[in-house]
Amino acid sequence: MALVPVAGAEFADLPEPSAEEMATARAAAAVHLPQMEHCARCRADAVGRIGAPMGPSQFTVLERHASTAKPGRTLVAVASQEGMFVNRHLGEADELLLYAEAEGGGFLQVGIRQAPEPGNGAARWHDLADLLEDCRALLVSGIGPSPQEILRASGLRVFETEGLVEDLVPKAFAGGEIRRMKKPFKCGDGCGGNAKGCA
């Protein structure tokens, strides 16, 4: 991936490589490691999955979600630590992964949104509800009663569950119920935290 010089950074004085230099570097690296040539910048335009070919439907979905028109509730948000599992408590999630249905079936990740900063009580969850106004569902491994009530009142379906993203996201798009994860406790009961993340 090409270096983007940023003022004040350690490599700010290095020039950005040209397209020809990048092509040469990728060709040399491809001898040892397959290249994902559809990525031009880190995360901002990343799409698809490693090892899976890029199809026209993925570009169509990205174009649709890049539109400036206000979208309906067409996305599913996921609290995940690494992107493979629904495994983050909402109060601990600093970002949420966004998924859209792909044309022809399946789904793909179309973005990442930063969660509002903790410590603002109910205001944090109202801000999150606004941030996720284009989402039909939110998948988390845990959620406190206050955010759950606020987010559901905003029209968002909230599922407290755990498992593979690839198994759970299609269920959220289908609109059915998702098995609730059984825990030996209820969020908030005997919590040793400071309540700034969940309250």
pLDDT of residue 105: 81
Entry pTM:
0.60
pLDDT of residue 68: 35
E runs forming strands in 102-134:
107-114
Closest CA to 77 of 92, 102, 96: 96
**Number of Cβ within a 10 Å radius of residue 179:** 12
By residue count, the chain amounts to 199
Task: Spell out the per-residue pLDDT of the chain, length 199, in tens.
Answer: 777 777 777 778 888 888 888 888 888 988 988 876 655 555 444 555 555 555 555 555 555 444 433 457 899 999 999 999 999 999 999 999 999 998 888 899 999 999 999 888 899 999 999 999 999 999 999 999 999 999 999 999 999 999 999 999 999 988 877 876 555 445 555 555 555 555 4
Contacts of 178-183 with C-beta under 8 Å, sequence gap 24+, read 178/139, 181/141, 183/142
In the chain, where the domains are located: 1-43, 52-66+73-174
pLDDT of residue 137: 94
Architecture of domain 52-66+73-174: 2-Layer Sandwich (3.30)
pLDDT of residue 69: 36
* Beta bridge mates, 157: 137
